[in-house]
Amino acid sequence: NAGVTQTPKFQVLKTGQSMTLQCAQDMNHEYMSWYRQDPGMGLRLIHYSVGAGITDQGEVPNGYNVSRSTTEDFPLRLLSAAPSQTSVYFCASSSDSYLSGANVLTFGAGSRLTVL
Amino acid sequence: GDSVTQMEGPVTLSEEAFLTINCTYTATGYPSLFWYVQYPGEGLQLLLKATKADDKGSNKGFEATYRKETTSFHLEKGSVQVSDSAVYFCALGFLNRDDKIIFGKGTRLHILP
């Protein structure tokens, strides 16, 4: 049981380049989300999705795009990378079960992105 | 707005010492409360949770009690081990809230042998 899989684990970009961070889960979770983790800032929500075809913005969405064409996948796109986007990115998912274990997130191992 | 405040680290203890990591929250309504742990090089994983006032969450020797009167959810362990060295995040979340969980900034814990 793989859980939440993120790729790549490490990436270096130049300012202005684009890339996609991949996230896939095999638990049939309806809810998926992307966080960024920065020193002294904790985790901040970028975008989230409550099901295929539905996405919404979190706390820090600027500079990022997402889509959710399937239940399993939730890619995060950086269209024009900036040094301020240097961070560790985590994808997380959750079952849509508000009555039991609500809000328990399963995290991927993270993707470390450096923008030069 | 809703927020979580936890003690700043790093916290350094000797093995077998008693651990407390403070966490307080501000929220409208009645959130569920969580502690997540992040071991080096890994993603976060749920350590324990409590869904209503006076509930006690426990796991791996760690405990935390949901205190509504003091809006707190302090993490405790009676005897820490070197393997407990990690970053600990306090968090809150609401039923039926799509923006899910709000995390504290994390507390790094170092346990010395």
pLDDT tens, per residue, chain B with 113 residues? 889 999 888 999 999 999 999 999 998 888 889 999 999 888 899 999 998 899 999 999 999 999 999 999 999 999 999 999 999 999 998 766 665 688 999 999 999 99
pLDDT of residue A102: 54
A96-113 burial, b at 16+ Cβ within 10 Å, e below that, comes to: eeeeeebbbbbbbebbeb
Q: Model confidence over A10-64: pLDDT tens digits? A: 999 999 999 999 999 999 988 899 999 998 888 999 999 988 999 999 889 999 9
Closest partner residue to A103 among B32, B42, B43, by Cβ?
A: B32
Instruction: Say whether B95 sits in a helix, a strand or coil.
Output: coil
B28 close contact with A: CB closer than 8 A: no
The closest alpha carbon to A19, from A63, A84, A71, belongs to: A63
Which residue is closest to B94 within chain A, CA to CA?
A103
Half-sphere CA count of A77, side-chain side, radius 13 A: 7
Q: How far apart are CA B88 and CA B39, in angstroms?
A: 9
Instruction: Say whether B31 sits in a helix, a strand or coil.
Output: coil
Q: Model confidence over A49-75: pLDDT tens digits? A: 988 999 999 889 999 999 999 999 999
pLDDT of residue B95: 67
Closest partner residue to B105 among A41, A48, A50, by Cβ?
A: A41
A38 close contact with B: CB closer than 8 A: no
- Report chain A's mean pLDDT, rounded to a whole number: 90
